[in-house]
Every structure is written in structure tokens, then in C-alpha cells.
Structure 1
């Protein structure tokens, strides 16, 4: 099914969704994002029932060859198709998105993209990536700083997969790793801001998509249009440029104006203020009569120790110990 434009071809994607639902509902399945167009011989011998390769450079929306399925969509489009098909993968691979010279727009292993992908991964899954591609400190502190427990596998583990099967990036001295990941959301805590309820949780906001009226998330600028086309309840959330008080208040005003215009009762938010959230809570209280919506705010975060000011308001102990992530 050749792709004739950059717009998402709804009919072909619908056919893909039906195929995925029929073929991937059982068995063990692996997905490789930003795979490149090369279909390696080793993919056909991997210990999985299906190996799904996602890369916008594939000339067809989807193609099947034995156990390998290639998908010519963006990461966000493919993830939406997997979600619609109710598929959850046993293994996730992304080792080189071509950020420097390959045409990649944003890191798929980054929090924005991984947040959208996590719901289509099983509660325990394999994660194969190359920390050195992003910088090992950045990987540990930012990208793999998620609500989960992880263990780095070695070649003696029965679940281990040789990362060089998927990419030769390690030849540049960038060691790839294989982690067994178990999702571990934090406990939700709540407090009152006037008549509103504010709930904090270290959890992926996309896991609660169905319970929220609107989700406001920070995302890659290049994905804003696709986000609103594919995920109608989600809206881009913009960080104030300089964090000045007037700019922060303008951000709060825009959020509350939208919620009251659309009568949003339950609003989900991700971090956007760089730590200064007391001002936001004070603004909610001071403008309750003018902006009665939303009545419930759910603030989600992936990084360890986000929303420290708000956790203090909820009476929680701050600066909790972070799980150490072993690197290859």
C-alpha cells in the first residue's frame, strides 16, 4: 500500500490496525522504532512471534514478510495504531534515531515520546537502547529516570538479546544495553486548593487518558499538529520562556480559560514550570470564582523528585531516594 502524501492515510492505517489486532494479540512480540529501512536477516530468527519495524522511511504503510512487519509511519502515528489495536509488546528497541544527520526530529527515548509509547508496552518488558548515543549522564538523569524498576541483563540471561542485531552504532564505541523493565507507578497523593482537588502521582499521564477530560502535555514542536489530530483530548502545554511572574500568570490564565470555555472537569497536566508550582496553586485559589473549572487537577510526572513544592503541600516527604540505573 504505497503512501502518496505526508498526511496520515486513514483507510490504510485502519487496515493496519485490523491486521495488528488479528496477528499480535497473542505470542511474544518486539517493536523497533526508528529501525531504518534495512530488514536484517537476523530479525527472522529472533525469539519472537512477530518483529515490528517502525520507520517513516519505509515506502509502504505496512508490509509483511514472514514474522517481520514493516510500518511506514511516524512514531506517534504507529503508536496510535498499536493503541487502537490494543497491542502490548514484550520488547522495545530504539538505538539510533538519526538525530545528528539521519533526519530524526526528536529522541524517541526522550520522556515526551516514551510517555506515549509506554502504554503499548507490557508491565514488564525488555528495553534495548544505547545510552552513549544521548550521553550517559543524560540517559541516567533524564531519559531513563522513569517510574519503574530496571535491571541490566548480561549475555547469560535467557532473555538477553545481542544489541548489535539491531544497530552497528556500538562500533563507534557507544555500548548498547538490554534492560528488564517493570513499571512501578508511584502512590497518588492529594490536597485541596480552595474547592479544587489537586492529585500528584509519579505515573505516565497516558495511562489515565480515559479518565481525564483533557490532557495538557509538553511535546516536540514538530509533533503538535499530529498530536491534536491523533489524540483529540490532548493539548500542547507551553513552558513560560523566562519564568517571570507575569509570564507564569499568563500561562495559568490560558489553561483556566480553556478549561472554562470547554467545561473541563478533570484536567491532567505534566511538568511545565521548572519547579515553581506554589504560584500556580495560589493562582487557582485566587481565581476560583472567575474560573470554576477544572474541579479536579491531576499532575503527573515521570522524573524523580518533580513537583517538590506540591508534595510538601500534600504533606509528603521530599527528596526520596532514587533507584540506581546500571549502564553497560
Structure 2
């Protein structure tokens, strides 16, 4: 099946689903993003039923040989396909996206792109990456997620040698990752309900009528092509968010951080304009990095204290 130059046609998507659905829903799976097109000898020996290689440089949309599945799509398109068929993966690999040379446009390990991928990962999974590829300061920010991590070494039974996947010269690491979302905090702003939580917005996309996200500006069109509810939050003013929701009667929205920690002004705007803009009814603020949305957590705590004093 030849790789399309633009988004997947429905007949191609249906064929992909038929080939992958049962295989990836029932097996134990590892996915390797930006894998390159070389099929390495060690792949067939990995302790997984399916080793899925995702790279847009493959000549075909899909090729399957024994346990090796080659998917010739971009990360965004492949991830959307995996979500549609209900695939789940126990292992994630991304070592070298070709950012300096090789045609990579953005880091797949950074917050916005990895958060889109995480819903297809099991609640506990292996993560293999090279922090030195991005620089330690960037990596510290990238891996500052709602999760617990344990670095594995050769003595751990779950350890996989990163050199199976890449000869990249810098040191690669293997982590056992357990997703660990934070506790939600809720308060009222006039007639609207506001919830804030350290949690991946993409894990709740099915609950939201619209997702106002941050991402690489060049990738927003691709995200919208696979998730119609997505909007690029930096394209909207306070008023435009309310106008959009009211015009389309969008009741529940999710938002990612975009105001550099200053959200009191937005809360005041919501309260002042609830008559003219009754939608959205519920705003859910999601963040990955610790210490985001501190003003919102403070409001939730203050609201809780008021209710306690009132005996509510």
C-alpha cells in the first residue's frame, strides 16, 4: 500500500485498521517513533508480540513481516490511527528524530507531542530515550510529567539495551514509567465550574467538547486533521474563547497553560462576561509540569476554606 502525500483517505484508513486492530489490541506491543527505515536484527528477539516502527520515510503505509510492523506515517497520523483502533503499547522508544539533520521538524519527546502519544501507552510502560540528544535542561522540562519513573539498568529483568534500536553515540536510558495524575481541584466562577489538574489533556479528550492546546505552530493543522475539537490556544484572546464557545454552544473545554502563570485576569473576565457569553459552562485546566496554574489552585483552596467555614 503506497504512502499518501496528504491525510489518509478513508479506504486506506479502513485497510490499516483491518490489518492492525486485532494484532495491536491483543498482543504485547512496543512502538518506536522516528525509527528510520532499517530493520535491525535485534527487533525480532525483543520480548514483545509486535514491534511497531513509525517513520514517514517508509515507502509504504504499512508492511508486516512476522512481528515487525512498519508504519509509513507521520507521528501525528500514526498516533491517531492507534487511538482509533484501541491499540495499547507497553514500550515506547524515541532516540533520534533527526532534528539537526534527517528531516525531523520537532521533538517527539517534548511535552505537547509526547502528551498526544501517551494515551496509547499503558499506565505502566518502558520509555527509552536519549536526554543528551536534547540537552539536560530541555530534558528535565520534557520529563517533568504527572508520572513516577524508575531508571533501569542491565540487572533489571525489564531492561532493554538501547543499542538494539540505535547506534546514537550519546548515552540512552531506560525508564519504567507509571502514570500518576494529580488530584483535581474545583471551584466556581459565577455560574461556571473550573477544574484544575496535573493531568494529560489528551487522556480526557473524549470528555471535552473542545481542546485548546499548545503545540508546534507548524503542527496544529495536522492535529486538527485528526482531532476536529482541537484549537491552538495562542490564537485566541479571552473574548474569542468565549465567543467561539457561545457561538457553537460548547459546554466543556480543556485548556493547557498559555498565560505565563497569570490566570487571575482570565477568571475575572469569565465572571464579568457570563451574561453576554454563557458558554463554556465548565473549564478544565490541564498541566503537565509541576507548579503550573498556581493561581487557580489558590482560588480552589480559598473556595474550599470558605465552604468549610460556612459548613457546606
TM over 0.5: yes
Q: CA deviation at 1:229?
A: 1.4
Matched, 1:86 2:86: yes
Structure 1 segment 16-165 matched on structure 2, within 5 A: 16-140=16-140, 142-165=141-164
1:310 is aligned to 296
Instruction: Provide the rounded CA distance (Å) in 2 between the counterparts of 1:204 and 1:285.
Output: 26
Matched, 1:224 2:208: no
1:193-212 alpha-carbon deviations (Å, 9 max, x no partner): 11111000100111111111
Instruction: Provide the rounded CA distance (Å) in 1 between the counterparts of 2:290 and 2:5.
Output: 41
1:99-130 alpha-carbon deviations (Å, 9 max, x no partner): 11111111000111111100000000000000
Instruction: Return closer, same or farther for 1:48/1:166 CA change in 2, 3 Å cut-off.
Output: same
Structure 1 segment 114-263 matched on structure 2, within 5 A: 114-140=114-140, 142-169=141-168, 171=169, 174-238=170-234, 251-263=237-249
**Residue 13 of structure 1 contacts residue 61 of structure 1 at CA under 8 Å; is this kept in 2?**
no
CA RMSD of the aligned region, Å?
1.2
Instruction: Provide the rounded CA distance (Å) in 2 between the counterparts of 1:4 and 1:193.
Output: 47
Q: CA deviation at 1:47?
A: 1.1
1:267-316 alpha-carbon deviations (Å, 9 max, x no partner): 11111111111111011111111111001000000111100111111118
Give TM-score, length-normalised by structure 2.
0.94
1:295 is aligned to 281
Instruction: Provide the rounded CA distance (Å) in 2 between the counterparts of 1:44 and 1:13.
Output: 26
1:280 is aligned to 266
**Residue 34 of structure 2 contacts residue 55 of structure 2 at CA under 8 Å; is this kept in 1?**
yes
Aligned length: 302
Unaligned regions of 5+ residues in structure 2, if any?
303-312
Instruction: Provide the rounded CA distance (Å) in 2 between the counterparts of 1:4 and 1:77.
Output: 11
**Residue 7 of structure 2 contacts residue 225 of structure 2 at CA under 8 Å; is this kept in 1?**
no
Instruction: Provide the rounded CA distance (Å) in 2 between the counterparts of 1:4 and 1:76.
Output: 14
DSSP 3-state at the match of 1:24? helix
Q: Which runs of 4+ in 1 moved over 6 A?
A: none
Q: CA deviation at 1:4?
A: 4.3
Instruction: Provide the rounded CA distance (Å) in 2 between the counterparts of 1:14 and 1:158.
Output: 38
Q: CA deviation at 1:253?
A: 1.0
Instruction: Provide the rounded CA distance (Å) in 2 between the counterparts of 1:106 and 1:223.
Output: 9
Unaligned regions of 5+ residues in structure 1, if any?
240-249, 317-328
Give TM-score, length-normalised by structure 1.
0.90
DSSP 3-state at the match of 1:30? strand
